[in-house]
Amino acid sequence: MSRSQIPSQLLAILVLLISWSSTTVFASQSLLTTPIKIRNATLDDAEQITTIIQEAFREAPHVKYVYEFMDHHPRHLFACLLEGVREALDNPNMMVQVAVLPNNSAPHDLVPVGIAFWEFPAAWSRSSSSWTSGPFLQSPKTLGMPEACVPLVNISRAIDFDHQFTVAWHEYLDKPYPRSQQYYLNTLATHPDYQRRGAGGALVKSGIEFGQRTNGNENVTATLIATEVGEPLYLHLNWESIKIFTVKSLDIVAGVREEWRFDIMKHGI
């Protein structure tokens, strides 16, 4: 299959899925020995953000399924993700924030250890283009998957996964909550070495507070699609489940078809 046949939003959806899976769990139950700082990301953070996403998603089962060959191509993996991260940082419809903590091995250095990518409602931004072609792929030069991603992905799996996911997304999220009414958390990830310190929770709260300050009188709801691993954090932070759906594997192994559960959630802002 040629590059041009790959759905344009594919990478977007995959990249955001992989990072959702690694959301910090029960962050607020952790010992908060150091105050977490949240700040807006800059292009200078791109590589650090890419590392966080890469380390955070590695073990997620649905990522291993779609990115079937990623372990064979570690440098491609970094390049593939970095391109998506740069697109997001360049996207005027998106706010990227980082949580900063002291480095474990060099405590005087503050380093980004968690990231959140929020998409503004179409109504807030100058254009709504990002909504139609996917958050990471809103410019013409990236209508296909970045070159570096191609060797990593099982294309049959990716297309089928993307299709099932997109159908559920449109049915359960975009019908009841049009894009102009969503302040959408498309990625949340914490580096595995720095989980359970509250970075994920602090990032979510910071984003919602920004939404509240910016919202004006718009009728806007914060939304996200959580994996099973991420869901407990959001429930703890008083997000409400709208709809649970599953995406199913193409394969039946030993009589079992693997499936992955997602929870579409909302929070008032």
Ligand X SMILES: *[C@@H]1O[C@H](CO)[C@@H](O)[C@H](O)[C@H]1NC(C)=O
Give contact residues for ligand X (rule: CB under 6 A). Answer: 40, 68, 95, 103, 105-106, 111, 154, 156-157, 176-177, 181, 219, 250-251
For ligand X, give the closer residue by CB, 29 or 250: 250
**Closest distance of CB 111 from ligand X, Å:** 4
For ligand X, give the closer residue by CB, 90 or 147: 90
Q: Name the phi and psi angles at 16, rounded to 5.
A: -75, -35
Q: Could you tell me the sign of the dihedral formed by the alpha carbons of 40, 44, 50, 52, in that order?
A: negative
**Closest distance of CB 109 from ligand X, Å:** 6
Query: In Å, what is the CA distance from 109 to each residue of 82, 101, 112, 177, 201?
Result: 23, 8, 10, 42, 22
Q: Name the phi and psi angles at 170, rounded to 5.
A: -65, -45
Could you count the other beta carbons within 10 Å of the beta carbon of residue 196? 15
For ligand X, give the closer residue by CB, 46 or 95: 95
Closest CA to 63 of 131, 149, 186: 149
- Alpha-helical segments (H) within 58-154: 61-66, 74-90, 129-133
**Closest distance of CB 52 from ligand X, Å:** 8
**Closest distance of CB 232 from ligand X, Å:** 25
For ligand X, give the closer residue by CB, 31 or 253: 253
For ligand X, give the closer residue by CB, 174 or 232: 174
**Closest distance of CB 219 from ligand X, Å:** 4
